[in-house]
Chains A and B, each alone.
Chain A
Amino acid sequence: MLNQKYGVGEKAPRVDGPSKVTGEAKFTADIRLANMLEARVLRSPFPHARIRSIDTSQAEALDGVVAILTGTDLSDIDPYFGHAVRDRPIVAIDAARFAGDPVAVVAAESAHIAAEALELIQIDYEELPAVTTIEAALADGAVRVHDTDALRLGLFHGLGDFKPHDNICYEHHMTRGDVEAVFAEADAIVEGEFRFPAVYQYALETHAATAIWHGADQLEMWANCQHPYLVRAELADMFDLPKANVRLHVPFIGGGFGSKSYTRMEPIAAAMARKAGRPVRVVNSVTESMWTSRRHNMICRMRTAARADGTLLARTAEMWLDTGAYADNGPRVVATAADAAPGPYRWTAYQIDAYGVYTHRSPSGSYRAFGATHLEWIGESQVDQVARKLGMDPLEIRVKNLLKPGEAVRTPGKPMDADLIGDIRKVAEGLEWDKPRPPGVGRGMGIGLLAAGSRPVSTAFARLESEGTVTVMVSTSELGQGARTAMSQIVSQELSIPLSQIRVPDGDTMVTPYDRSTGASRSTTLAGGAVHLAALDLKDQLIAIAASKWQVAGSDIILRDGRAWVGDQSATLSELLFYHFGFSGGELFGRGIVRPEQGQGTYAAGPVFWEVCVGGVEVEVDEETGRIHLRKIVSVADVGTAVNPAMIKGQEMGGAAQGLGNAIFEEMVFSDGQLLNGTMADYRVPKMDDIADEFVSYIVQNEDGPGPYGLKGVGEGILAAMPAAIVNALADIGIHLNELPATPERVWRAIQQSKNV
């Protein structure tokens, strides 16, 4: 099936599909090294405790235990990491800051022995007062999670200078116009306080890392990380090595969703292997991975003002996002949440104040569509509230106020680059908005923006071997999103060769060139852009060779069906290479570099592109139990150009399901800082039965993206749109919620409340 050419726009089968369904594909935990030890992590049972002493003697005496790592082993390296704030030690040094914080690591001949040894480690904890909620952390005189004066900023904060203070890790403010003056003149004002829960990304594969040292200054690792080059830089910094001495392999990743963004278990594996003097593997349990990364829970107060004719005038939003004990990607999440707060509308004035709050809870980081998911449902529910107050249709008020292409979103920043009105009309079409609703059925829509793309720096090589096979060297992590297929299709398109002749190997920082990260919906746009340039470079070289061979102008040569043609003469790529090198050896390299000057936006000037977060749902509710039934989901993927429509639809379905989880099921329940539902039995994710009766998916292709062929990223937007659409659909049938998830009990209570009013 792969012997076919699958160019851009075609539903190519996944190039990694067969190896995954047969179990042949290798994931990080499948990598076994000779003499490899298994490591297990001992974690703090207390949300906040001073570590007076650790006695490892009994554990060390256990047969099969090779080495134990504690905070006292870290004095000859810089043990702190954190790409935004260097606030996190490899294992606790002075204190444990959340229940689940790593305190010691055992490396043993087997995982069983390591687990048994954990029980033999004696730790003298002094339990300290903890701030385990946003409110507690912000209270006067609250215990401080960190001595903020001692904190250093990380290598990749990308957020200008900032200084954590009190329990505020980061703050971000945006202002336009005189908000209070505009509110004073408004005809309709709505306001409310909203709560978003802590949720887990729930990738099927947990965090894993394997490390081996070659001598004292060469570190080689396998890890399921989304951002290998950023992890490499942090490891090099901590262990005081040249970056080139840290080699990171990234095999297939079993789902990321942001949970594997930035540095995770890699420092533990590296430090443990260094102490043990042997290779070490560490693999998290599900509960441990829940402690490793999650989405920020949030409290938000928002007000929206409008004129009687439905013109949106002003908005204020104050939000506090719980980043947990360590900043992780909290600062970026806070800034992106602030960015998302105004929504995709034309405002006379706004005031946005966003804060990342340190608490004694497990740390929060990236999660698909962060920031936008937090804010879109709040902003969009207020737009619907304004519409209800003014007797306007929700579609009409949006069409009236949505930004048009070229209008400023925020200043500074990239102006609007998508047809939002076209997108929302597609949602209306899918929902049959004009048709009357059956009794008890609610419809809702949501539209928002996500600052996407991160930094536009990606590079790639395309290596053409003598038999005509192209190996694409690109450091995008394949985490199920289909990157290797999309990259292959771009090469197939440009060189006119079948997918069977194209290979995309695992990421390897010694071999595959620099890429900023796999996240922020950036890979096909930016790494794909680099691959596109590399393929074009190869194509130019091939055409030059063919032109020389046939003594014609390069413009007379075309590539078709895996051959170069001039008139009805043709040669295979292999024949061209034979001609060029004079025997059956030799290779060509294509080079692709994407950097800010080439992109249509720089990081400082705002996002690479605005990802449109738009969708709609139709719901009905069992009034007696509060259970929500989804009749229909409508997704609109505004992608510029579709490289692979089948994979885009997959992204939309997956994102919608995950958004459904965030909206109505998922919540990490904490009590006094302890996670109560750390297993699949108690943490409820959406199941097949929960997905809507009908899934309507549109792909909008306006060729208005900054990537090759006018494409732009996809896959996150629908997640952010789902909670917004669901909350609005519930309000459509009189059920008003200001807290997610909309569990059956919460919905039932809202129904009881509306009956009592």
Chain B
Amino acid sequence: MLKPFVIHEPRTPQQASELLNEYGWDATVYAGGTELLVVMKEGLASYAHLINIKTISDIHTIHLTDNDAALRIGAAVTHRAIETSSMIAAHAPLLIEMERSLANVRVRTMGTLAGNLCFAEPHSDPAAVCMAWPGASFELTSTDGVRQVLPDEFFIDLFMTARQENEIMTAIHLPLLPPGMGSAYHKFVLLERPSVSVAAFVSVAGTTIKSAHIAVGSVGPVPYRATAAENMLLGQTPGDEPYRAAAEAAASAADPVGDLYGSVEYKRQLIRVLTRQALQQASERAMGVERL
């Protein structure tokens, strides 16, 4: 049951930061509320002050930046806005695939991408995708200034990020994929959130794999990069055999625990299957068999 709280409506990120400075542990940032209000209703968290960042004006847009080499997604942009954005469709269609399968349309209509990342739920879809996204970074703003943080520095532990107490995430930066790079996101969902998710970005030149980024989500406190698997693929010819070997390496690198989502053994099996499928699809897209 929700306990009473006060909502604050800052106009700038600096004002939001000031409020966070002022109220400290008694306050938290509120955007869509799809994660926050649930834990508050369950009594797992309690805040006397919610800082509603939706009233901040310049964090509601999606636009190209860095000489049109990257996307900047404002922190108040909802999942649904991303899912239906022609800008995203043109420049980062993988995000649309990810958003379409995220939670349900009610959650997507209210919830924001930044909120999902800051909540750092271990089964987060966007966390896995951003972890693998080449060059992705998160913009954090406070009264002390603005800084860019890389995903693997940002996600520290379950429900714990590098965001300081007085910082708000103001934007997500996603570089556009270079020609010859394909991407894919595969997950296995039984309960409300994914049991295992795998994001893969593969660059292919001619018949050689030039780079591979693989992130596995939902099996540990934070998504992990399957670096051994990535390295194994360099210089290989795209095909089922190297993908199976890489998938095996990604599964071995996992350190899952058995829980309601499945046993350790079963989770490794899912990593194996999803990694192979994601690599297969990402490389097909890289080679233009399927564009994405």
Contact = CB atoms under 8 A, between A and B. Distances in A.
A642 B191 CA distance: 38
B1 A111 contact: yes
A748 B192 CA distance: 20
A699 interface: no
A623 to B, nearest CB: 10
A402 B169 CA distance: 68
Contacts of A749: 266
A750 B104 CA distance: 32
A745 B260 contact: no
A676 interface: yes
Contact of B192 (A115, A665, A676, A681): A681
Interface in A459-475: none
A680 B1 contact: no
Q: Which range holds the interface residue count of chain B?
A: 10 to 19
A682 B263 contact: no
A285 to B, nearest CB: 8
Nearest to B1: A115
Interface string B1-21: 101100000000000000000
B47 interface: no
A669 B191 CA distance: 13
A676 B190 CA distance: 16
Contact of B266 (A112, A115, A669, A748): A748
Interface string A620-633: 00001101000000
A744 interface: yes
A665 B270 CA distance: 18
Nearest to B2: A112
B59 interface: no
Nearest to B188: A625
Interface string A359-384: 00000000000000000000000000
30 contacts: A111-B1, A112-B1, A112-B4, A116-B3, A624-B273, A625-B269, A625-B270, A625-B273, A627-B188, A665-B190, A669-B260, A676-B260, A677-B260, A679-B42, A680-B192, A681-B191, A681-B192, A681-B193, A682-B191, A682-B192, A682-B260, A684-B190, A684-B191, A744-B188, A744-B266, A745-B262, A745-B263, A745-B266, A748-B269, A749-B266
Contact of A624 (B191, B193, B269): B269
A627 B122 CA distance: 23
Contacts, number: 37
B284 to A, nearest CB: 19
- Contact residues of A: prevailing secondary structure: loop
B229 to A, nearest CB: 18
B285 to A, nearest CB: 21
Q: Which range holds the interface residue count of chain A?
A: 20 to 34
Contacts of B1: 111-112, 115
A627 B42 CA distance: 31
Interface in A89-112: 111-112
A563 B262 CA distance: 66
Contacts of B273: 624-625
Interface in B222-265: 260, 262-263
Contacts of B3: 112, 116
A743 interface: yes
Given A112-B3, A624-B269, A748-B266, 6 more contacts: A112-B1, A624-B273, A625-B270, A669-B260, A677-B260, A745-B266
Nearest to A626: B266
Q: What 3 pairs across the A-B complex have the smallest Cβ distances? A: A681-B192, A745-B266, A624-B273
Nearest to A684: B191
Contacts of A112: 1, 3-4
Contacts of B42: 679
Contacts of A115: 1
A226 to B, nearest CB: 27
- In this complex, the member of A115, A682, A745, A749 whose beta carbon has the largest number of chain B beta carbons within 10 angstroms is A745
A681 B190 CA distance: 10
A668 to B, nearest CB: 11
A735 to B, nearest CB: 16
Contacts of B260: 669, 676-677, 682
B46 to A, nearest CB: 11
Given A111-B1, A669-B260, A682-B260, A743 B190 contact: yes
Interface in A326-341: none
Nearest to A679: B42
Nearest to A622: B273
A743 B192 CA distance: 15
Contacts of B270: 625
B274 to A, nearest CB: 9
A743 B189 CA distance: 12
A624 B192 CA distance: 21
A685 to B, nearest CB: 11
B290 to A, nearest CB: 21
A748 B190 CA distance: 14
Nearest to A116: B3
Interface string A724-757: 0000000000000000000111001100000000
Nearest to A624: B273
A684 to B, nearest CB: 5
